[in-house]
Structure 1
Amino acid sequence: GATDPSKAEPGTIRGDFSIVTGRNICHGSDSETAAKREIDLWFRPEEVANWAHTAERWIYE
């Protein structure tokens, strides 16, 4: 959805709870490439854990 709170749809997290564009309670990257860059910006390698939901082995082959 819209990243500008004034343009976000009602019923969305940003539309209902956000006032300022730069202040987010959570963030989702727009691509895997951006996620990698952002993770590398904020975390050292030893701070990042590999995690898989326990149900994944039952859902995915």
Structure 2
Amino acid sequence: MTFREGDVVSRKAGGPLMTVEDVRADSLVAVVWFDADAHVQRDVFAPNTLHKWKLVENDDG
């Protein structure tokens, strides 16, 4: 799977929704998210450990 800056992802093993900040030259994906105390957290993950989320718009008017 290919990731781009701004994609919303989560770890396949579970966890918070995170935003991709960068896909590094070594192919690791740098992400950012807020923890339960509203502190910014950052980490990097191998792309095969992440799942991309897609926004689904509801058109119920």
TMscore range, shorter length: under 0.3
**TM (normalized to structure 2)?**
0.24
**TM (normalized to structure 1)?**
0.24
The structure showing larger relative contact order (alpha-carbon pairs under 8 Å, at least 6 residues apart) is 2
Q: Which protein has the larger Cα radius of gyration, Structure 1 or Structure 2?
A: 1
Bigger helix fraction: 1
